[in-house]
Amino acid sequence: MNKELIEKINSLAKKQREVGLSEEEKEEQQRLRQEYLRLFRMEFKKILDSIETVD
């Protein structure tokens, strides 16, 4: 899902630069970006939680 999500975000960003987005597309773009950030933070937290410090 992550790869598909990034591809969709990128396609909307390209369309925004070239011709602009409708209100529905802008809302979808925001929703997809928020979902991507949520997934990124979740994965990053897993990585941080798995780190062990050794003294």
- Residue ranges per domain, the chain? 2-49
**Alpha carbons 7 and 18: distance in angstroms, whole number:** 16
Per-residue tokens: 25: 């597309």
CATH class of 2-49: mainly alpha
| Predicted confidence (pLDDT) per residue in 10-21, tens digit | 999 999 999 999
- 51 CB-contact burial (10 Å; exposed 0-12 / middle 13-18 / buried 19+): exposed
Note the pTM of the prediction, 2 decimals. 0.81
Contact indicator for 22, 31 with CB cutoff of 8 Å: no
CA distance 18 to 26: 14
pLDDT of residue 35: 96
